[in-house]
Structure 1
Amino acid sequence: MANRMPEWMLRDLSLPRLRRYIRAAHGDARAAERLYWWNIEVAAALLGSLHCLELALRNALHNALVRHHGRPDWWTVAPLNERGLKLVEDARRSCGRRLRSTTPDDIVAELSFGFWVSLLSHGSGYDRHFWVPVLHSAFPHYRGRRDRIYRDLTSLVLLRNRVMHHEPVHHRHLAADHDTIYRVLGYLSPELAKEAQTMDRFRAVLAGRADVLGGARPPRF
C-alpha cells in the first residue's frame, strides 16, 4: 500500500483538500490519487446536464413570472422575501460593476441556481404567492406536488455547487443524481432532455470508475 502522495500534488492541490480522498481510500495514497482524478472526470461529465437544467429552469420560471406580472423586471412587484430581495439587489450591483447599463436580462443571468429554486419553497408563503398562481405552469410536463420537485432541485443545487467549487462528489449516489437531473429537465422540456442525453457521457464515466480506481485505465477529463 502506498502511503505518500507526490510532493507536487501536496503543494499544488493542498493537503487539506487531498486528505478527504486519502480518508476515502483508507490511507492508500495511490488509490486516493486515482479517486481525486476520477472525481474531476465525473464532475466534468455532469456539467453539461446541469448546465441545461439550470438554464431551462431559470428561463421557465422567469418567463412565467414575466407573463404573470406583465413586466420583465417582475421582482420589483413580486412578493419576494427579504433574502430574495437581497439576492436581486446583489445581482444588480454585480452587473453594475461590470456593465455600463443593466437590463432585466442581465440580472436574470446573474441570479444563482439557488435563487430560482428558492422560489419553489414553502417559506414566506412562496407556495401560495408563486407556485399556486403561476410557477406550476413553468413545468408543463409535471402534475405532482410542489414539495417533491423542490426536494429534487434542492439536492441538485448542492450537487451543482460541489461540482462548480471543485469539491468531492464521488461519495454521492451519482446515478440517482443523474436520473433526477433528467427527470426534472423532462418536466420543463422533453425536447431539451432528449437532445442533451445524446451528448451525455456520464454513464460511461460512471461505469469506468472501477477501472480508473483499480489502475486499469487512466482518468480523462
Structure 2
Amino acid sequence: MRAELPGWVERVISVPRFAPYLGALSGDRLVAWDLYQWNIQVSEAFYGPLHCLEICLRNAEHDRLRTRFRTDDWWRVAPLDESEAAKVAAAKQKLARKGIGLPTADDVVTELTFGFWVSLLSRKYDRHLWVPALHRAFPYYSGRREPLRDSLQTMVFLRNRIMHHEPIHHRHLAADHDKIYRLLGYVEPQVVGWLRAFDRVPDLLTRRPGGRRR
C-alpha cells in the first residue's frame, strides 16, 4: 500500500494545478493523485464522442450552407458578422502558415473551430442562416434553436477544458456524456450506435476515485 505521494508530483505538476484535486477530496493527497490520473483518463475517453460531435456538426452545417448559397466557399457570400468573418480569415492565415496559400473550401472547413460552427446558431443568424438552412442540419430535432445552441456551447466549453488539460472531475460528466449522444442523434442517429461500440466513458465513470460517480 502506498505510504505517501511521490515527491516529484507537486514539483512537476505544480501546487496550484494539484490544488483542485486536493480540495475535492478534503486534502487526501494519495486519493487526490488518483483523481488527477483519472481526470486524464476520462478526458482522453471523452475525446472520441466530442470528436464525433464536432465533425458531424461542421459537416452538417457546411452541407446545408453550401446548398443555400450555391457555392462550396459559402462564407464569401453569406452575411457573416465581423466576429465570424474574422474567424474565417484566421483559419486562412493559419493554413497559409502551413504552406497552403490557395486553400480549398474543405481546407477552410477543417480549420474552422468547433466554436465557430456553434456561433452560426446564434440568434443574430436566425433570419439568414437558421430559418432558411441550418435547421435542416438537425433533421431529428424539433425544438427551438436556443436550447440547441446552448447545449452545443456547453460541449465547446467541455472540449476546451479537455484540450487545455483542465480539471473536469467536478462536472456532472454522465450528463455531459448523455448530452453528446442526444446532440449526435439530432444530426444522424446511426452515429450513436457506432460510437457506443468503442466509447470508454461509461466504464471510466464507474471508477472515479473518491467514491463519487457522476
TM class by smaller structure? over 0.9
Match of 2:41 in 1: 41
**Which residue identity is paired with 2:48?**
G
Q: 5 Å matches for 1:39-118?
A: 39-100=39-100, 101-118=102-119
Comparing 10-19 with 192-201, greater Cα deviation is found at 10-19
- What do residues 145-190 of structure 1 show as CA deviations (whole Å, max 9, x unaligned)? 1011111101111111111111111111111100000000001111
Gaps of 5+ in 1: 215-221
Structure 1 position 4, deviation (Å): 7.1
C-alpha contact 1:3 1:27 (8 A) present in aligned 2: no
The residue aligned with 1:217 is: none
In structure 2, the residue matched to 1:199 is: 198
Q: 2:183 corresponds to which residue?
A: 184
Question: Is 1:158 matched up with 2:157?
Answer: yes
TM score, norm. by length of structure 2: 0.93
Decide whether the 8 Å contact of 2:21 with 2:33 is kept in 1: yes
Distance (Å, rounded) in 1 between the aligned partners of 2:182 and 2:58 = 16
Fraction of identical pairs, as percent: 50
Which one-letter code corresponds to 1:196 in the other structure? L
Tell me the TM-score normalised to structure 1 length: 0.90
CA contact (8 A) 2:118 2:149 kept: yes
Structure 2: gaps spanning 5 or more residues: none
> 2 CA distance for matches of 1:99 and 1:6?
45
Change beyond 3 A, Cα 1:78–1:35: same
Deviation at 1:117, TM superposition (A): 0.3
- Partners of 1:147 and 1:5 in 2: how far apart? 47
Q: What's 1:132 paired with?
A: 131
- Deviation string 1:51-88 (CA, Å, 9 cap, x unpaired) is 10000001000111011101111111111111101111
Match of 2:10 in 1: 10
What letter matches 2:30 in structure 1?
R
Check conservation: 2:25, 2:210, Cα contact below 8 A.
Answer: no
Q: Please, which moves more after superposition, 11-20 or 144-153?
A: 11-20
One-letter code of the match for 1:116? W
Query: Aligned equivalents of 2:132 and 2:206: distance in 1?
Result: 43
2:140 corresponds to which residue?
A: 141
